Amino acid sequence: MSGPTYTSPTDPPFSPETLAALESKGLEVRGLSEANLPKAVELETASYPEDEAASPENMRFRRANAGDFFLEATLKTAGEGGGGGGGDAGELVGFVCGTCSQGEELSHESMHLHDPSGQTLCIHSVVVAENFRRRGYATEMLKAYVESVALTQPGVRRVCLIAKAGLLGMYASCGFTLEGLSPVVHGKDPWFEMRIDLDSSEPRLLRFVQVDAFSGRKFCGNPAAVFFTQAGGDADWMQKVAVEMNISETCFLELQPATPDEASSMGPTYALRWFTPGGEVDLCGHATLAAAFALWEEGRVGPGLPIRFSTASGVLTCRRDAEGWVAMDFPSEVVGDALPEDDEGRTAIVQALGLASVGGGGGGGEGGGVLFVGRNRCDVMVEVTPDAFSTLAPDMRMLAAIESRGFIVTCNGQQPKKAGEEGIGTAGDTDGGSVDFQSRFFAPRMGIDEDPVTGSAHCCLAPYWGSKLGRRCMVGYQASPRGGTVRATVGLKSEGDGRVVLEGKAVSVFRGLFRR
C-alpha cells in the first residue's frame, strides 16, 4: 500500500487506494461538522428502531467528546453518486461514530461512555441516508473510517462493533471477523460481536497545529505546537517531539472521561502538559492559550463551551469572547521582597542583564536604572527604568549560570523607542493601543534565550503592577522582536484573590501530521 495522503486541514489522512475508492463513489470523508450534526441526529433516528437509536444528547456527547471517532461522508459535487442518482454538493450521505473503552470485550457499561485512553474502539453507528443506500457507500465509508483510526490513533489497538445477522457479510467485507454472540442487550434482537485488530507496529500519523499566541496576526506573538494526544503519558516521546519541533513550547492534550451530563454542563476537561526543548514545565500561559484556541478552531470543542485543563499547576479554565479574546484563569505568582543592593546574587543578575554599566553602579533608579530585583517561586523579576529597558544587553551564558527558570525584566508603559527601532517591538505594535507595563523574558536554562510572549510571567507581572498602579485591569506588552499583548485582571472576587485572569488572541499558522 502506498503512503497516506493528507488532502486538507479537516480531512483524515488516507492511502491513495482509499482516496481513489472514495473518489469513484463521489464521496468526501472527514470529521462531522457542527452544521451537519442535526442532520446526523435525524439519520440516526430514521435508521434504527426507537429502542436502538442513540438519543440527540448522546449524539452530541459523542461528537463533543469523541470527535476523532465521528466521521461524515458527503458528496463532493452536485449530481455525483457513483451508482445511480445524484445529490447536492456537500449533502450528508452518512456517518460512522464510536467511542473508546478499556478491556477487550464490549459491555453495555463500556459502550455508554468514552474513555480517551481506552484501547478498544466500539463503533456505535454506521448510517447511510435511505436515498443513498445499496450503492456501496457504507462499505467504502467504513473502510476509510478504520484506516483513519489505524493511521492516526496510536492508543487504539482494536475496533469492535455489534451487528445483526443480516449485516455480518457486509462487515466481513470491510475486514471484521466474527467473535460470536454478544452479551450486550440492545433492543429485542440478538447481536453478534465483530472486531479488527490493528497492527501496533505500524507507524501512526498524529495531527498537530502550530498557533501564534498573544497576537491576532501571524508571525507575531509566541508560537506553540499543539498535539491532540499524550501518547499514553510517554514523557520521553513528548520531550523528543518538543526537541524536534524546536520552538519555545510544545503542548500535549488528552481528553478526560466525562459523562454526557458533565460534558454538556461544564465543558470538556483535557489533561495538558507543556514541554520546551529543554524539559517539561509546570505552567505555560501562551501554550495554554494555543491549546484552547486549537480545540475551538479545529471543532473539537463547541465555540461557546469553556475548556478546563488539568495540569501540574491545577485546573485552568479558558473561555473565548465574541471578539476572539481567550480568557485564562491562572494562579498568581507573588514576587518576594527586594534583594539587598549588596547581595551577591543581585549583583550577578544585574551584570548578566547588561545593566550595571548603565548610568553608574548603584541601584534604586540610579546605577543601571535598576528599581527592583526579587524572586518569585520560579523566576527572577527585575524592574528597570524605560531607558534601561531600551538598552538591555543580556549575556545568556551568565544568565544560564544563575539558578532560576527565567528572568523577567519590566518597566512601566512609557514607550522609550519608536516601533521597530533596533528590531525590538514596542507598545506601539500592540492590538489595543497604550499599555500599562512592558516586559521581556529570558530563559536560557530552558533552552530559550528570549521567549516571545510569556503568559506565566504575567501571573507575576499582573499582581506586581496592579499593586504599584492601584489597578485590577491592565494591559501588558512583551517587547520581544515578535511582540505580543496580554490583558490581565487580578484579584477578581469571583475567582479569589490568588488568581489572575490573562487574555490574549491567537491565530493558526499551519497544520500537519507527525509520524509516530
Q: Residue 95's domain is classified under what CATH number?
A: 3.40.630.30
What is the DSSP secondary structure assignment for residue 111, as one 8-state letter?
H
Return the pLDDT at 40: 98
Return the pLDDT at 357: 52
Pair (169, 221) in one structural domain: no
CA distances (Å), 75 to each of 32, 63, 69, 184, in order?
A: 13, 21, 20, 34
Return the pLDDT at 261: 65
* Angstrom distance (rounded) from CA 175 to CA 182: 18
Return the pLDDT at 27: 94
* Angstrom distance (rounded) from CA 124 to CA 73: 16
Encoded amino acid at 493, one letter? K
Q: What is the pTM of this model?
A: 0.72
Q: How confident is the model at residue 129 (pLDDT cuts 50, 70, 90)?
A: very high
Per the structure, how many domains does the chain have? 3
Pair (53, 193) in one structural domain: yes
Pair (299, 365) in one structural domain: no
The pLDDT tens digits of the residues spanning 268-315 come to 899 999 999 989 999 999 999 999 999 999 888 888 889 999 999 999
316 has pLDDT over 70? yes
Cβ(399)–Cβ(355) below 8 Å: no
Q: How confident is the model at residue 487 (pLDDT cuts 50, 70, 90)?
A: very high
Return the pLDDT at 25: 93
* % the chain with pLDDT above 70: 86
Return the pLDDT at 202: 67
Pair (193, 257) in one structural domain: no
- 474 Cβ neighbours under 8 A, 6+ residues apart: 436, 437, 462, 465, 466, 487, 488, 489, 490
Return the pLDDT at 231: 83
Of 174, 197, 220, the residue at which a domain comes to its end is 197
Return the pLDDT at 86: 63
Question: Is there a domain that residue 515 lies in?
Answer: no
Question: Is there a domain that residue 335 lies in?
Answer: no
What is the average pLDDT value for the chain, to the nearest integer? 87
Question: Is there a domain that residue 451 lies in?
Answer: yes
Pair (274, 189) in one structural domain: no
Question: Is there a domain that residue 381 lies in?
Answer: yes
Pair (132, 268) in one structural domain: no
Question: Is there a domain that residue 429 lies in?
Answer: yes
Pair (100, 48) in one structural domain: yes
Question: Is there a domain that residue 379 lies in?
Answer: yes
Return the pLDDT at 14: 87
User: Pairing between strand 437-443 and 473-478?
Assistant: parallel
Q: Residue 247's domain is classified under what CATH number?
A: 3.10.310.10
* Angstrom distance (rounded) from CA 434 to CA 476: 9
408 has pLDDT over 50? yes
Q: How confident is the model at residue 346 (pLDDT cuts 50, 70, 90)?
A: very high
* Angstrom distance (rounded) from CA 212 to CA 290: 7
Of 157, 176, 197, the residue at which a domain comes to its end is 197
Pair (109, 136) in one structural domain: yes
Respond yes or no: is residue 249 known to be catalytic: yes
Pair (159, 80) in one structural domain: yes
Q: What is the mean pLDDT of residues 345-360?
A: 81
The pLDDT tens digits of the residues spanning 92-118 come to 999 999 999 988 877 767 777 899 889
Return the pLDDT at 233: 87
Question: Is there a domain that residue 94 lies in?
Answer: yes
Pair (272, 417) in one structural domain: no
249, 297, 298, 503: which one is catalytic? 249
The pLDDT tens digits of the residues spanning 44-63 come to 999 999 988 999 999 999 99
Q: How confident is the model at residue 497 (pLDDT cuts 50, 70, 90)?
A: low
DSSP annotation string for 397-421: HHHHTSSSS-EEEEEES---S-TTG
Q: Where are the alpha helices (DSSP H) in 250-313?
A: 260-266, 285-297
Return the pLDDT at 363: 41
38 has pLDDT over 80? yes
Pair (452, 309) in one structural domain: no
- Domain residues for the domain of 471 are 344-490
Pair (172, 77) in one structural domain: yes
Q: How confident is the model at residue 417 (pLDDT cuts 50, 70, 90)?
A: very low
The pLDDT tens digits of the residues spanning 434-451 come to 899 999 999 999 888 999
370 has pLDDT over 50? yes
Written as nine digits, the cell of 61 is 456527547
Question: Is there a domain that residue 11 lies in?
Answer: no
